Structure 1
Amino acid sequence: MKRIIFPLTFLLFAATTITFTACNGDSQAAITIDDAIAIKLQPVTTTQYAPILKYSGSMASTAEARLSFKIGGIISGIYVKEGDHVVKGQLLATLDLTEINAQVQQAAQGVEKGRRDANRAQRLYNDTVATLEQLQNSNTQLQVAEEGLRIARFNQQYAQIRATESGIILKKLMNEGEMAGVGAPVFMLNGTAGNGWVIRFGVSDKDWAVLKKGDKASVEIDAYPNKTFTGIISEIAQGADLSSGTYEVEVKVLPGGARFAAGLFGTVRLQPATEQTVTMVPVEALTEASDKTGYVYTLNADGKTVTKNKVTIAFLENNKAAIVSGLDSAREVVTAGVGYLTERSTVKVIK
């Protein structure tokens, strides 16, 4: 029987290959373990929170009015300018009355003719020459003419603008010689007789949803730097402004003995009565935070990978961050090791 003899060099090569393969496998396992990022987890809690909303605006009077002519015409005279103080009933502007006076005269002549026709019809009816229908028609025509005269005289009366109350002319929108349309504003009047002062500003749709009429507010006015005024939401718009897309909110400000004027700039802090649920997480869990947004990592069910969650931050308080959205179902978040994580990271939890 022939024996097969392997050379010594072949045996040594085989042994070396086996040893190298085994060592290489151990190395790969070690690398996998060493690549896992050590992390720590912290539990999250939930609480009720009413956000404090901050807006700015200028002061205005609730007696603010846009004064205009009832009828159209050419402006013949304007007797005030912006910033003037006016008293109730003061004449501010007039239209050219040439056409308007002619309309009044025309209506008056129509009434005279209507009376003559009515009287003639009455005499003819008494002499049984005219019928009852003819008499009634003439009386109706007289009444129509009299109402036309009333309309013409009423329009003649409102071919001028008078101050509806004492106040200040904020803005003059038209000048002498211009054609004023029916109801087109000519003056902006800010009444100063009462104490009704408000600040108006636009809010986003999200803030509009939590605000209610009657919610309290605190107001800081630049003219009174060391004083805070009490305010209350008096009006909330039920539709968005077409130009800005915001919803107008009106906050009534109590003067508290201070002297207000139109145009004073103020900052309003609103405290909605409606509360919302927020998730509280440690501040160190946040990464890539900017303004009201940031990211928080959570551990997946396999215990080895993580998920990067985009969250909306409501506020920071006592080393805690209040999250409005983005962590609805999370019970724990990653705190230690956050700076080294990506969405593809392998992790190991350190208790």
Structure 2
Amino acid sequence: MTAKSLAAALAAATLVATPALAVELKLADFQPPTHFVVDSVYTPMAEAISEGTDGEVTVRVFMGGELGPGPAEQYNRAVDGVAEIVFSLPGYTASTFPKTLLAELPGVIDPETGTERMLANIDMLSDEYRRVVLLSLWNNAPNLLFTASQPIRSMDDLNGLNIRVPSRNAGLVVEAWGGVPVSMPATDVYNAMQTGVIDGAMIDATTLTAFRLAEVTNYITVGMDTAISQFFLVMNRDGFESLSDDQQAVVLEAGREAALNGNAAWLEIANTALDDFAATEGKEVIELSPEAVEAFNAASAPVVEQIIEEAEAAGVDARAYVEALGDE
């Protein structure tokens, strides 16, 4: 073998032996580092991606807004590539996701089956995620009415109170109930309730522990049909397309499992947190009377129809999506 052919053979062998360059995906979340989402969702997802790609793709999680403050900016961080994957609520950038947010309307999905129904119809949302790749979409536990000092036993009790809402749609529901909606991310609710900036919040029961809202809440009202928020994990499109086809398939499957894990975790922790709150001296969970439930639901029903009609008028196939979510 000549020196030239030997060098060529060695170079070829080196190329074959050289492992593919590892890719680290940054995942950004504004929630505190102690939030249960880390162990329930992100750790299993990271493990599945690493194992499924033989360690060629890994995930590094940044909690507490470490890659940038402001929950409402999360979606843009994915678009701009500040992080490859971000967690957020579509309600924080509601104008971008009118179809996605139809699922949060009272009565559209069931908290136990809503995530599976959204995943089964996820292709119907593709037009809203052209700038990113939708990896995960799941619903939380039902949003309840938390108040600091005013117990809500009827719609009259809610009249004129400033109530934090997670999205425009939820705000319209609160307004129909007689409250004054105040748009605010979950991270700001504690201080706002503590200082009296708001009288209460429409929010799910996991926040009693995850955001320590049990410390500033004395009453929680349950029983009416209410908004059920969605969470998503979206990925920078360039980052996704830089992966091989096999790696993309692994990431998508890990994202789907993350959605199911997220839904299960939110429901379980919400139930436990609400039970613990009810058992705490000086705290009260108010179960609305049948008459009060009927009044709340009658007030919100026209809002649901109004939002669907507005979306249809804007060119969104809203009614078809709502009907698909309800089909089993």
Does TM-score exceed 0.5, indicating one fold?
no
Higher percent of residues as helix: 2
Which structure's CA Rg is the greater one? 1
Higher percent of residues as strand: 1
Which bracket does the TM-score occupy, shorter chain normalised?
Answer: under 0.3
